[in-house]
Structure formats: C-alpha cells, structure tokens
C-alpha cells in the first residue's frame, strides 16, 4: 500500500464514503488527518486504516 503524506490544503476523497464528497485536509500529524468534507463536515481520519484518495490539483477543472 502506498501512503501519502498529506499536507493542509490537499483535496481528498474517502473511498468508502463517497457521499461525503470532496474533502480538504486541515491538518496531518502522523497518521491522523483532519479533513473538512463538503457533505460531512470535519472528520478525523486514521490514514493507517483508511487509504484516502488524493485528488490532483485540477480535480474540479472543466474538461
């Protein structure tokens, strides 16, 4: 499994909770990542348990 080091401002998705929408990383300390999701609010994620999907910077640009 590849593990990314998340930085504040990065955009992610939770693979098991797509209804949460896109989230923006607020903080990351070790494996604890705090993410503000558009439909679920602020959630603390253990990145050793959940493999967040990192989104490219242009994830929302028109195709």
Q: What is the pLDDT of residues 47-59, one digit of tens each?
A: 999 999 999 876 5
> Looking at the domain assignment, is residue 60 inside a domain?
no
CA distance 14 to 48: 13
> Looking at the domain assignment, is residue 36 inside a domain?
yes
Beta bridge partners of 43: 35
Q: What is the pLDDT of residues 17-48, one digit of tens each?
A: 999 999 999 999 999 999 999 999 999 999 99
> Looking at the domain assignment, is residue 27 inside a domain?
yes
Instruction: Please state the domain count of the chain.
Output: 1
> Looking at the domain assignment, is residue 63 inside a domain?
no
> Looking at the domain assignment, is residue 17 inside a domain?
yes
> Looking at the domain assignment, is residue 59 inside a domain?
no
**Three-state DSSP state, 19:** helix
- The domain of 38 spans 11-54
pTM here? 0.83
């Amino acid at each position: 499994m590849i593990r990314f080091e998340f930085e504040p401002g990065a955009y992610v998705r939770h693979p098991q909770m797509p209804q949460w929408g896109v989230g923006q990383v607020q903080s990351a300390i070790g494996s604890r990542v705090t993410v503000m999701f558009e439909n679920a609010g602020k959630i603390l994620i253990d990145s050793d348990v959940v493999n967040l999907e990192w989104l490219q910077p242009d994830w929302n640009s028109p195709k």
